[in-house]
Amino acid sequence: MLTKPNPSSTTLYSSPQEIESHVVRFIMAEKNIERDVFNLKIDEMPEEILELNPCQSLPTLFDRGIVLYDLSVIMEYLDERFPFPPLLPVDPIEKSEKRLMIFRFTRSAGCWFELANTIETGSKKEADEARKILKSNLIELVPLFAYKPFFKSDEMTIVDACLATLLWRLKKLDIDLGAPGKAVTDYAKRLFARDSFKACLTDCEKEYN
């Protein structure tokens, strides 16, 4: 069990291998936030932090005396608290579009994060079906991956942070997009080449590719 966090520090309690924690680590690295990151199991967190997180989940962020534990809330908080570089557009219509994408990819029923989790933890039948759906979904969106340098954007957004961490796991999930998915693979390589992405990988995540 860790001791209580430094109140003057931005502290992230992170799973070393789960995708949502990877997203937050990527965002923090991209923004070059001064931070303490502890990659651990949920029962290793400080008791006072666990008490303030009723979901008992990772990632959990501690900053300025508050505890945040929902992925979308953490991402938007970090973008507002540390505004450079901005990872969400200022325009309310564009911002809402990005929020809907994040919901679709990370939180909606049958979302990509859920499919990835099913591939790793479900029965063989469930994993095979989830793998088929995820691969099909990615191929269907090839034109959007090829449209601009980032996903429907000229600049990186938190949508890209979510997608990059998922795509990093495709080999581990036994998904090969082949020639039809070249635009997705090229997009992924651009994100994987960023110093911030390399810096946010844990030792176990480095083995995924």
Instruction: Give the fold, CATH level 3, of 10-81.
Output: Glutaredoxin (3.40.30)
DSSP the chain: -PPPPPTTSEEEEE-SS-HHHHHHHHHHHHTT--EEEEE--GGGS-HHHHHT-TT--SSEEEETTEEE--HHHHHHHHHHHS-SS--S-SSHHHHHHHHHHHHHHHTSTT-HHHHHHHHHHS-HHHHHHHHHHHHHHHHHTHHHHHHSSBTTBSS--HHHHHHHHHHTTTTTTT---TGGGHHHHHHHHHHHTSHHHHHH--HHHHTT-
What is the domain class of 92-203 according to CATH? mainly alpha
Report the pLDDT value the prediction gives residue 4, as an integer from 0 to 100: 67
Residues of the chain with CATH 3.40.30.10: 10-81
pLDDT tens digits, one per residue of 117-168: 999 999 999 999 999 999 999 999 999 999 899 999 999 999 999 999 999 9
Residues of the chain with CATH 1.20.1050.10: 92-203
How would residue 47 be classed by pLDDT, with cut points 50, 70 and 90? confident
Do residues 117 and 169 lie in contact, with contact meaning Cβ atoms separated by under 8 Å?
no
